[in-house]
Amino acid sequence: MDWNQLILLVGTATWQTLVMVFWSTMFSLLLGLPLGILLCTADPLSGIKPRPALFQIVTRVVNVLRSFPFIILMILLFPLSRILIGTSIGTTATIVPLSIAAAPFVARVIETALKEVDPGVVQAARAMGSTNSQLIWKVLIPEAMPSLVAGITLTIINLIGYSAMAGAIGGGGLGDLAIRYGYQRFRTDVMIASVIVILVMVEIVQVCGTKLSDRLIAKR
C-alpha cells in the first residue's frame, strides 16, 4: 500500500468534494431562499401576501424537480452546464446540476421553517405597520433562524451525498475516487478511505449545525 499516493488521491478528491459542496450549497441557497420565501408568503391560506396562481405554479415546479431521481436530473442538466461553464465534466461543471437539484429541497426546507413562525407574532408585527419586506427580514427569518440552520445543515449533508453520486458520471470528488479506484481498480484502501472521509464530513457538519441551532435556541 502506497501511503503517499493514497493521501494525495484522497486529499485531492476531498478538496474537490468540499469545493462542490460549498458552492452548490451557496447557489442552491441563492435559488432556494427566494423560492422558499415565496412559498411561505404567497400561500393562499396562510401567506402574508396570498398569490394563489403563482403559489400553485411554484409548488408544482418544486414538486416535479424533487421527484426526479438525482442521477437522471444530472444527465438532463448537462446541456445547461455546457452553456454556463463550457463543459459538462469535472468539479466545476457538477456544481450546476447539484445546485439545481438541491434548490427545490432548500425551498421546501425554508418554506417549512418560515411557516412554523407563530402567526400571532406576524399579525402583531403587521398591526404595528410593518411592510411585507420588513415582515420577511425582521420577523419571519430571525424568528425561524434555529429551524433554518437545522434545514441548511440537512441540505449540506444531502449535497455531500449528491456530490458523491455525481462522481459516478465524471464529477470528480470522493465519490468519483471511490468508484474509479476503489471499485473499478479493486483498491479497497482507497474505497475505505473515501468512505471514512465522507463519514467524517457528514458528522462534522451535523454536529456543527446542531450546536449552532441549539445555541440560537438557548439564547432565547
Closest by CA to 17, choosing from 211, 187, 162, is 162
Q: How many CB atoms lie within 10 A of CB 139?
A: 20
Q: Measured between alpha carbons, how far is 6 from 1 in angstroms, rounded to an integer?
A: 8
Among residues 125, 136, 195, 202, the one that binds another protein under rule CB under 8 A: 125
Q: Report the half-sphere exposure of 115 (CA within 13 A, side-chain side).
A: 17
What nine digits make up the cell of 89? 465534466
When asked if residue 131 is in the footprint of another protein (CB under 8 A), the reply is yes
When asked if residue 126 is in the footprint of another protein (CB under 8 A), the reply is yes
Q: Measured between alpha carbons, how far is 173 from 186 in angstroms, rounded to an integer?
A: 18
When asked if residue 220 is in the footprint of another protein (CB under 8 A), the reply is yes
Q: Measured between alpha carbons, how far is 153 from 135 in angstroms, rounded to an integer?
A: 24
Minimum CB distance to another protein smaller for 134 or for 206: 134
Amino acid at 60: R
Among residues 20, 110, 139, 174, the one that binds another protein under rule CB under 8 A: 139
Minimum CB distance to another protein smaller for 30 or for 124: 124
When asked if residue 86 is in the footprint of another protein (CB under 8 A), the reply is no
Contact by Cβ (8 Å): 179, 168:
yes
When asked if residue 7 is in the footprint of another protein (CB under 8 A), the reply is no
When asked if residue 66 is in the footprint of another protein (CB under 8 A), the reply is no
When asked if residue 207 is in the footprint of another protein (CB under 8 A), the reply is no
Among residues 85, 134, 189, 195, the one that binds another protein under rule CB under 8 A: 134
Residues lying near another protein in the complex (CB under 8 A) are found at 118, 120-121, 123-131, 134, 138-139, 142-143, 145, 219-220
